[in-house]
Amino acid sequence: MNELTRPPIDVRFEGLSAPVDSRFAGMTFPAYRHFLDFEPVRRHPQAPNTPLVMPVALGAFVTGEPVALALAEIREGQTSNAEMLSLFVVPAYRRRGLGTALLNSMGAFLSRMGVEKAMGVYMTGQPGQEAVERVLEKAGWSKPEIRQLTLRCTLEEARRLDWYGKYALEEGYSVFPWKDLTETDREALKESQRVTGWIKPDLEPWKHDAEGFEPVSSLGIRLHGELVGWIINHALDERVVRFTCSFIRRDLGRRGKIVPVYTESIRRLSESTGFVEATFTVPIRHRGMSNFVLRRSAPFLSFSFLGETRGTTKILTR
Ligand SMILES: CC(C)(COP(=O)(O)OP(=O)(O)OC[C@H]1O[C@@H](n2cnc3c(N)ncnc32)[C@H](O)[C@@H]1OP(=O)(O)O)[C@@H](O)C(=O)NCCC(=O)NCCS
């Protein structure tokens, strides 16, 4: 039977609560399986200072059997927004409109809970990208926009990149573990940002370290003692570390000066931690860094992954 002659499915959607049928666990990413306990949780439990979120899940059943799952989260204190985390239909029921119907039902379900705007972020370069983009389009979500470049590779590969170890820190520069930043330094930095606005707002370190950071490889950069930059990283799990935020004062010729600090950060990860992979995320609007990833790094990695995250939103109407 081809998909055109498939009969319509008699499907039932149901808001899920604990305990759920264990088959639903296989319908979302491993990192989100703890959401199916329906307790207020943190997205990454190993990052204790991240905000608590409330999981919301809608399951689809055909003759009592679970066949699809939509999973979302609502952040504590931000109940008019929700983020879709995953959408999954078992292969036997795909291409019959189920994914779209489930996403639409999830929108209505969230709207009844008071959510006004839903957003979603997904990674390109994965199987199923065409299907998910088509489903978003059919369900009336906004045209996906590139948010970030993501490069993933082993630390061993990173150490073979041509820039690794090639440039030394120039005279006057020094690095220190970000965990050693004093409160006085931090207050002085905030004050200088308030007065002169020299840091790109999305790279302000307090937006990235407030919820915890990887202590060995997150580094501050000083020039003649003055704090001029930072690399702030996060553990995603016990194997993978994410280079989340890196910044150096604009007038210092950014990339040239920060590359040796990347080397130092990767070296410390390799020598003093058990991490084996690194993910670099770069907001696409930071052209210098995006080019560094696209031109100086990605082409030279044989077993790496390069993708974009794309974001999409939908205003929910009651
Ligand atoms: C994405 C997913 C949920 C869609 O479920 P579904 O029930 O097949 O969705 P629908 O039937 O409503 O719509 C699928 C659309 O994608 C299209 N599509 C599917 N595979 C495609 C492909 N490889 N290339 C282009 N279009 C494709 C279908 O033709 C259909 O569009 P149409 O109605 O215009 O023909 C399902 O494929 C899935 O579970 N994939 C694995 C998990 C995943 O990738 N989830 C998304 C990220 S969390």
- Encode pLDDT of 62-81 as tens digits: 999 999 999 999 999 899 99
Task: Specify the ligand 1 atom closest to the Cα of 129.
Answer: 44
Q: Where in the chain is the domain with CATH 3.40.630.30?
A: 3-141, 152-310
Confidence of residue 180 (pLDDT cuts 50, 70, 90): very high
Nearest to 147 by CA among 123, 179, 182, 118: 123
The residue whose CB lies within 8 Å of the most ligand 1 atoms, and thus the one to mutate among 24, 95, 312, is 95
The per-residue pLDDT for 297 is: 80
Task: Specify the ligand 1 atom closest to the Cα of 90.
Answer: 39
Task: Specify the ligand 1 atom closest to the Cα of 133.
Answer: 16
Higher pLDDT, 5 or 295: 295
| Pocket around ligand 1 at a 6 A CB cut-off | 86-89, 94-100, 122, 128, 130-132, 134-135
Residues near 66 by beta carbon (within 8 Å), at least 6 away in sequence:
21, 23, 24, 27, 59, 60
The per-residue pLDDT for 48 is: 62
Backbone phi, psi, residue 41, to 5°: -135, 170
Return the ∠ at Cα 255 (arms to 249 and 257), rounded to 5°.
70
Domain spanning 3-141 has what CATH number? 3.40.630.30
CB atoms under 10 Å from CB of 62, counted, come to 16
Surface-to-core class of residue 302, CB atoms within 10 Å of its CB (0-12 exposed, 13-18 middle, 19+ buried): exposed
Report how far apart, in Å, the C-alpha atoms of 5 and of each of 8, 36, 89, 116 are.
9, 35, 19, 38
Nearest to 255 by CA among 247, 245, 264: 247
The per-residue pLDDT for 1 is: 41
Confidence of residue 3 (pLDDT cuts 50, 70, 90): very low
Distance 137 CA to ligand 1 centre (A): 11
Domain spanning 152-310 has what CATH number? 3.40.630.30
Whether the CB-CB separation of 153 and 143 falls below 8 Å is answered with no
State the sign of the Cα–Cα–Cα–Cα dihedral 189, 191, 192, 196: positive
Q: What confidence tens digit (pLDDT) does each residue in 218-231 have?
A: 999 999 999 999 99
Please give the span between the terminal C-alpha atoms of the chain, in angstroms, as a whole number.
38
Residue 91's identity, in one-letter code, is: P
One-character DSSP codes across 120-158: EEEESSSTTHHHHHHHHHHTTPPPPEEEEEEEEEEHHHH
| Euclidean distance between CA atoms 312 and 136, whole angstroms | 8
The mean pLDDT value for 7-32 works out to 92
The per-residue pLDDT for 24 is: 98
* pTM for this predicted structure: 0.77
Q: Could you write out the three-class secondary structure of 61-72?
A: EECCEEEEEEEE
| Euclidean distance between CA atoms 261 and 283, whole angstroms | 19
Distance 113 CA to ligand 1 centre (A): 27
For atom 29 of ligand 1, the residue with the nearest CA is 95
CA–chain centroid gap for 76, Å, is: 19
Whether the CB-CB separation of 70 and 49 falls below 8 Å is answered with no
